[in-house]
Structure 1
Amino acid sequence: MDRIWRRFFLTAALLLSAIVRANADDGAVIDRWYSALLVADRTELSELLADDVRMKLDDIGVVQDKQEFLASIDEWQGAVAGATIRHRIEKSENGETTVLACYDFPENDTLMRETFTVVGGRITASTQTAIAQDCSDY
């Protein structure tokens, strides 16, 4: 009986370790995402996005596929010039990571809640919702 309990705890520990490792990997993907987004690095953003990704912008009612998102990067590059993006993970479980992100542009800032689904190191879905017109609650 003691042997069964040891196997159970070993299995549970290995499973927990795998979950923690997956969450850490998702966090690294998210960090890379914001770094690439800040400098409008089309190549890096393309590598981070799955081919069938869906990017949902709740506030303006837009859903973009990968090509549509990448096509918007030229416009984004002008908007993000001189900006900073601060982000922190609120929670991460089952391949879904929720992030609080402050987009601090030279003329204004906005606080966003963004949710990413990451599978195999690539973003397969993203939803972005504004939650404040400034970052005072960041």
Structure 2
Amino acid sequence: MSDLLSSVKTAMSGMQAQANRLRHTSENIANADTPGYRRKIVAFEEMLEAGRRTGLVETGAVWLDRSALPRIYDPSHPMADDSGYYEGSNVDLVVEIADAREAQRSYEANLKIFEQTRQMSRSLLDLLRK
């Protein structure tokens, strides 16, 4: 029974990490047109217990993408400098949508493991009752 509980915990940690990743990806998409906005990058870390690997994952530090911000020419923009340029966002919508799909599919895979484990537990309890 502890193996079933362990697989549920592993699936739950994966779902939580992917949900957090999807939240940051959504923030990036929402701020794609915000001047000066830097893309957020989420890293995953393996959780350790007393120095041992647990198989669980969590989101680590959130980093800001340090790639150069594009300079956009629009003299009418309130943030434009004397030459008519302002710094845009370094969010690439194609990359963000691909990341969102990857996070969604990973979340769904972990959910499937969770559901299968729950079904196996139910079947085991039904067998023990007979």
Query: For this structure pair, what is the TM-score category when the shorter chain's length is used for normalisation?
Result: 0.3 to 0.5
Question: What TM-score, normalized to structure 2?
Answer: 0.35
Which has the higher relative contact order, 1 or 2, with Cα contacts under 8 A spaced 6 or more apart? 2
Structure with the higher helix share, 1 or 2 = 2
TM normalised by structure 1 equals 0.33
Bigger share in strand: 1
- Which has the larger Rg? 2
